[in-house]
Amino acid sequence: MITSASNPRLKLLRRLESRRARERLGPALLAGVSALGHPPRVAAVFRRDDLPRGTEPPVGLALWHVGDPGNVGTLLRAADALGPAFVVLSPGCADPTGPKALRAAMGATFRVPTAAWEDAPGPRAALLAAGATALWAAELPERVTFVLGAERDGLPPDVAAVCDLRVSVPLAGAAESLNVAMAGTIALYEHRRRAG
């Protein structure tokens, strides 16, 4: 928290108002705070409370313990591209505002509403690896929340049991499963295809 006009960060921001200072200091300063191999030319600070919240769109993804931030970010990006859609996160999910998730989301974090797990609206469709109705053959309601499980373990039976329907993406050959981000993207695409 900045409480003084002599705060070093404020002084630095004032110096960076000058083009010459930005050209001299900018790349080195951003390299020091960036996790990227090639630092960006722009950095931003935002409040989490200012990010979109809610479950108003007609389709969404409910993520159960999806711990990989790259997958969380990719699913936000898919919700942005194939929506409008929302993303619901259970406890144990990766932080959607972490550096890796933000990179994977490619700006979608600032457009896709998110909500807590308990706020996921119904009807809910459990997206399972196998043993369920094929996604493209299932009777999906116009409003639906696809429920996806963690990368390694999938959706626990007790979570799948409280869903209104169970669907899967049939796989060819000896493939056992899809990456959670791929499966969620396919589900959003199928919903969008049906909506026309």
Residue by residue, pLDDT tens for the chain (196 residues) are 667 888 887 777 677 666 677 667 656 656 665 666 666 666 666 788 899 999 999 999 999 999 999 999 999 999 999 999 999 999 999 999 988 999 999 999 999 999 999 999 999 999 998 889 999 999 999 999 999 999 888 899 999 999 999 999 999 988 888 999 999 999 999 999 998 8
pLDDT of residue 137: 96
pLDDT of residue 64: 98
Range of the domain at 124: 51-195
pLDDT of residue 80: 98
pLDDT of residue 107: 93
Three-class SS of residue 47?
Answer: coil
Whether residue 85 is found in the same domain as residue 169: yes
Whether residue 6 is found in the same domain as residue 83: no
Domain count of the fold of the chain: 2
Whether residue 187 is found in the same domain as residue 97: yes
Whether residue 39 is found in the same domain as residue 94: no
Whether residue 59 is found in the same domain as residue 37: no
Phi and psi based region of residue 35 (left: phi greater than 0; alpha: psi -120 to 50; beta: remaining): alpha
pLDDT of residue 120: 96
Stated pTM of the model: 0.83
Asked if 63 and 89 touch (Cβ cutoff 8 Å), the reply is: yes
Whether residue 41 is found in the same domain as residue 61: no
Whether residue 142 is found in the same domain as residue 186: yes
* DSSP letter assigned to residue 50: G
Q: What is the CATH number of the domain that holds 188?
A: 3.40.1280.10
pLDDT of residue 123: 97
pLDDT of residue 140: 94
Whether residue 123 is found in the same domain as residue 172: yes
Whether residue 55 is found in the same domain as residue 41: no
pLDDT of residue 148: 97
Whether residue 161 is found in the same domain as residue 128: yes
* DSSP letter assigned to residue 188: H
